[in-house]
Amino acid sequence: MRGKTIIERPEILASTADDRGQIRQIILNSKLFQESDAECVESMFDLALARPTPDNYRFLSAWQNGTMVGFACYGWESLTHRTWDLFWVVTLPEARRQGIGGALLDEAVRIATVEGGRLMVIYTSSTGAYAAARKLYESRKFVRTAVVPEYYNRGDDLHIYSRRLQETL
């Protein structure tokens, strides 16, 4: 296969304390998020490390060719009956369209399902910058179940996606 670049399948692992700085850099280099978003993710990451309980945030890191290229943050939503939220799936721009976001999402769904999750919910923006994310969610059998007009800003609606993880219970 001369002239073809071989792309290694991403390895999806539970994030560790050593991943903190790289997660911050992925957010800042994503071309989607700002410093305030990085600070939010860092707070969530610090909480996950300080209190690793089933009902806290969880992080996954995606590795490809020895480099962290993406991460996901998800967790069980307290005060619900086994509903999980996907808070973040972020990849580096140069790593997009290689199945990394899908692999992160699939692993979060797998873990939530194995742990008895009934439903997973995702909040996302309606803007063009998030079109690829919405397409990813829909490709993984998430259905847009609600729209809140101008939730984030004028002209920027909230799209809520959900997917049943288990049909019973």
Structural domains present in the chain: 11-119 (3.40.630.30)
Q: In this model, does residue 84 exceed pLDDT 70?
A: yes
Q: In this model, does residue 167 exceed pLDDT 70?
A: no
- The closest of 159, 148, 162, 146 to 109, measured between CA atoms, is 162
- Is 16 exposed, middle or buried, given 0-12, 13-18 or 19+ CB atoms closer than 10 A? exposed
Alpha-helical regions (H) of the chain: 20-29, 35-50, 100-114, 131-139
Asked if 113 and 167 touch (Cβ cutoff 8 Å), the reply is: no
pTM to 2 decimal places: 0.91
- In angstroms, rounded to a whole number, what is the distance separating the alpha carbons of residues 157 and 124? 8
Asked if 44 and 87 touch (Cβ cutoff 8 Å), the reply is: yes
DSSP 55: T
pLDDT digits (tens, 9 = 90+) for 10-64: 999 999 999 999 999 999 999 999 999 999 999 999 999 999 888 899 999 999 9
Residue 70, helix vs strand vs coil: strand
List all residues 6 or more positions away from 61 whose beta carbon is below 8 Å from its beta carbon: 12, 13, 14, 15, 16, 19, 22, 23, 68, 70, 71
Count H helices and E strands in the chain, helices first: 4, 7
Q: In this model, does residue 1 exceed pLDDT 60?
A: no
Alpha-helical regions (H) of 33-92: 35-50
Asked if 77 and 65 touch (Cβ cutoff 8 Å), the reply is: no
Asked if 140 and 133 touch (Cβ cutoff 8 Å), the reply is: no
